[in-house]
Amino acid sequence: MPEEHSNQDNDKDANAFVVVMVGTILLGLVAFGLSFLLHTPLAPQLFLSFDAVFLGVIATLPPVLFLWWFSNTDLPAFAEFRRSQIKFFAEVGFRFTPLRIVLMAIGAGVCEELMFRGVLQSWIDGFAPIITAIILSNIVFGLLHMRTVLYAVIAGGIGVYFGVIYALTDNLVVPMVAHGLYDAVALEYTRRAIVLYHQNSGERA
């Protein structure tokens, strides 16, 4: 009987992760479809090179520093938000393993950048000032991440940062690398926070 429960838990764990990854991949496929409809071809926006990857790695530093500040600040609103987010991810339905973190980070870095910078920002930039394109595309980006208002604002702000990087480099690979690496760091921080959350919950129990 315990083995049966263990198998059921493993199945739920795997299914929940698959749902997340399928949703991410679908976002990328929708981005390709919209790129044809909105006449914003994605291939010309992608230039893979050492310089692009290097710039993407360097560009990861500011959001990682923000994450460090966010994870250590005692400001009441941010501390409470941090606790609620850790609780949310602790109960999200699947375990954060190193392989899953890598897959989620790559998926988000590629698919979200294709959609929000490659398609939406580029499309709006075709008929409006670039600052308008960056802001409007990241309002949508923030709303997509709206578990709470503050989370949407933070996600939108980071999206604006990626949008500025894309506008400055004119190469979608740069924000893809920065986005993926940042997500990998954030998810690893989340994984460790979840471990502490479960340990503390067990102690209280």
* Residue 75 CA to its chain's centroid (Å): 24
- Arithmetic mean of pLDDT, 77-81: 85
Residue 202 pLDDT: 61
How confident is residue 204, by pLDDT bands cut at 50, 70 and 90? very low
The pTM of this model reads 0.90
27-36, 127-136, 145-154, 165-174: which range is least confident on average? Answer: 145-154
Under DSSP, is residue 103 helix (H, G, I), strand (E, B) or coil?
A: helix
Residue 198 pLDDT: 79
Indicate the domain borders of the chain.
2-204
Question: How many CA atoms are closer than 13 Å to the CA of 151, on its beta-carbon side?
Answer: 14
Is 118:172 a contact under the CB 8 Å cutoff? Answer: yes
Sign of CA dihedral 169, 171, 176, 177: negative
Among the listed residues 122, 140, 124, the one whose alpha carbon sits nearest the alpha carbon of residue 43: 122
Instruction: State the distance between the two ends of the chain, measured CA to CA, in whole angstroms.
Output: 24
